[in-house]
Structure 1
Amino acid sequence: MMGKSIKELNIGDEASMSRTVTEADVILFGGVSGDFNPAHFDEEYARKTLFKGRIAHGMIAASYATAVLAMKLPGPGSIYLGQEMKFLAPVRFGDTVIAKVEVLEKNEGKNRVILRTYCTNQDGKLILDGKATILPPIK
């Protein structure tokens, strides 16, 4: 299974996925990444922060956007070349994150696409916004 080549991509093409963040996700992400910040793991500590409770790693939401790029648009065979992103709101345990990507630019000569990568929560609040540079698969 291969994703879309640059010739198959059009400006404005979109794809998305959603996932609900669980405590298990945060524990597993901490184990894989080595990020055991108390903002994610210690409720007593986290209550004293500006978020007033534990939050998920921001990179969990970012990884959902990565999954959309890798599995849907452009899809399998794509190579990630770069990413800019801003974290705009926290992801809380139990939030459903909707990760979306949209083709913004294509450069057929260099086989590069730039896609907007963004995530909202179940209330439609923008939690992450950025741009990815991708090398789509060559068919």
Structure 2
Amino acid sequence: MIRDSIPLEEITEGMSACYSQTITDADIKSFAGLSGDHNPIHVSDTYAEDSRFGKRIAHGMISASFFSALFGTKLPGYGCVYAAQTLNFRYPVFIGDTVTATITVKSIDIDNKKITFDTTCSVGRKKVITGEAIIFIPEKKKN
């Protein structure tokens, strides 16, 4: 059995985990290919030069996907189920920006095996994405 997670009983309000990654041109092109989102604001320097941002921006969902990595590998860890997420895209992320995703336990519902998290992505001191997520903890198998 794989066990690389924190048991629900050991999770407390305020616990958090972080993940950082610098966004590259290759990340954006790979995400465009995977998602099918080839919006020129993301993939065309020429188009983006005339946009409100003056240069290409990363897909917001690239940064938001870092939350999933944290839930599935750090807090609570393997086996959890991502049930809901709100996202507020506050500022753009550019190629070369280092995004830090942070998840923080907001509340715990032991009876329903559900945890609510505050979620943020930051570039430096600027919060570029804010939101809230709900994660379900899997039932333990009975032998």
What is the CA distance between 1:3 and its match in structure 2? Answer: 1.5
AA aligned opposite 2:137: P
What is the CA distance between 1:69 and its match in structure 2? Answer: 1.2
What is the CA distance between 1:137 and its match in structure 2? Answer: 3.5
Aligned match of 1:19 in 13, 18, 21?
21
SS in 2 for 1:44: helix
Q: 1:32-111, aligned counterparts within 5 Å? A: 32-111=34-113
Task: Determine the structure 2 residue equivalent to 1:132.
Answer: 133
Residues paired across the two proteins, number: 138
What is the CA distance between 1:44 and its match in structure 2? Answer: 1.2
When the two structures are superposed, what TM-score results if normalisation uses the length of structure 1? 0.95
SS in 2 for 1:36: coil
1 CA distance for matches of 2:17 and 2:73? 10
SS in 2 for 1:52: coil
1 CA distance for matches of 2:27 and 2:10? 34
For structure 1, which runs of at least 5 residues remain unmatched after alignment? none
2 CA distance for matches of 1:119 and 1:138? 30
User: Does structure 2 conserve the Cα–Cα contact (< 8 Å) formed by 1:17 and 1:99?
Assistant: yes
1 CA distance for matches of 2:19 and 2:107? 21
User: Does structure 2 conserve the Cα–Cα contact (< 8 Å) formed by 1:78 and 1:134?
Assistant: yes
User: Does structure 2 conserve the Cα–Cα contact (< 8 Å) formed by 1:88 and 1:128?
Assistant: yes
SS in 1 for 2:96: coil
For structure 2, which runs of at least 5 residues remain unmatched after alignment? none
Percent of aligned positions with the same letter in both sequences? 38
What is the CA distance between 1:127 and its match in structure 2? Answer: 0.4
2 CA distance for matches of 1:62 and 1:4? 22
What is the CA distance between 1:75 and its match in structure 2? Answer: 1.1
What is the CA distance between 1:80 and its match in structure 2? Answer: 0.4
